[in-house]
Homo-oligomer: A and B are copies of this chain.
Amino acid sequence: MAKQLLGKEVTAALNEKIKAQVAELESRGVKPTLGIIRVGERPDDVSYERGATKRCETLGVAYEKFLLPADVTQEELMATLDKANKDDNIHGILIFRPLPKHLDEAAVIKALKPEKDVDGITDGSMVGVFAGTKQGFPPCTPQACMEILDHYGIDCTGKKAVVVGRSLVVGKPAAMMLLKKNATVTVCHTRTVDMPSVVKEAEIVIVAAGRAGVVDGSYLCAGQTVIDVGINVNEEGKLCGDVKFDEAEPVVDAITPVPGGVGSVTTSVLVGHVVEAAARTLQ
């Protein structure tokens, strides 16, 4: 039976660190603040926002909402972003995406200041992840994976790690972050031949395929740590990951559940980025 890598344990430890940083910043006269730009009222956005603002409140981070109607013009959106960019009291900016189709999302991302890009969507942040430098911030989901590995003391140096999925938001950055942790990293994807045998060789597996149950028991073996990034709804309407948990859990050494795994850590990572962005303004 595998050890369960629980998001709530990772989050609790992260939150303690963040609170200490917030206290330190406040003693130096800085109140870390997140600017939230939301266009329209998409339920997913509203729900994520609620989670983020609640987490901010718990951790002593302020937030300011910039709510725009679904039919906002590009000019109005850009002006709002410009205001948040220029406001020294706002340290990080979260922009909900995808934006409605009439808006030029690329132009919006390009206008966002990399040093406020706590969600890791700008070119500057991407270069930071690719080069392994502290430019901008990595996307929250792959960083949540790293936080889980760190929290449970899973050293990556010299380990074989496999990432399933090559998206720009999870797979590729996760591969770069594992490389920085000195793992020997393999990236698999839909065109990989005989994926079960490739995944079976890994000691650390990060699954970000974006499809329920892609990784079943035939991919897994004893000794593995499995981080499941997937969040899907199965036929019974229940949340499930990209890994068949029932087949994985009796076999591998350690695994993140879904829900209660990676997803539950990302909000604290985001708030942590805001605090880090605030700290960087003092450097």
Contact = CB atoms under 8 A, between A and B. Distances in A.
A189 B184 contact: yes
Nearest to A188: B184
A219 to B, nearest CB: 14
Contact of A191 (B129, B158, B168, B172): B158
26 contacts: A123-B123, A123-B124, A123-B127, A126-B127, A126-B131, A127-B127, A127-B130, A129-B130, A131-B168, A157-B191, A158-B191, A158-B193, A160-B198, A166-B179, A172-B179, A179-B187, A182-B189, A182-B191, A184-B186, A184-B188, A184-B189, A184-B193, A184-B198, A185-B186, A185-B187, A186-B186
Interface of A: 123-124, 126-127, 129-131, 157-160, 166, 168, 172, 175-176, 179, 182, 184-189, 191-193, 198
A226 to B, nearest CB: 19
Contacts of A191: 157-158, 182, 184
A193 B198 CA distance: 17
A108 B127 CA distance: 17
Contact of A184 (B131, B159, B182, B187): B187
The CB with the most chain B CB atoms within 10 A, among A176, A184, A192, is that of: A184
A198 B127 CA distance: 28
Contacts of A175: 187
Contacts of A198: 160, 184
A150 to B, nearest CB: 17
A81 B269 CA distance: 40
Given A127-B127, A160-B193, A160-B198, 5 more contacts: A126-B126, A126-B127, A126-B131, A172-B179, A184-B187
A179 B198 CA distance: 15
A265 to B, nearest CB: 24
A172 B193 CA distance: 22
A200 to B, nearest CB: 13
A158 B176 CA distance: 21
A187 to B, nearest CB: 5
A127 B188 CA distance: 21
Contacts of A130: 126-127, 129-130, 168, 172
Contacts of A160: 193, 198
A182 B176 CA distance: 18
Contacts of A158: 191-193
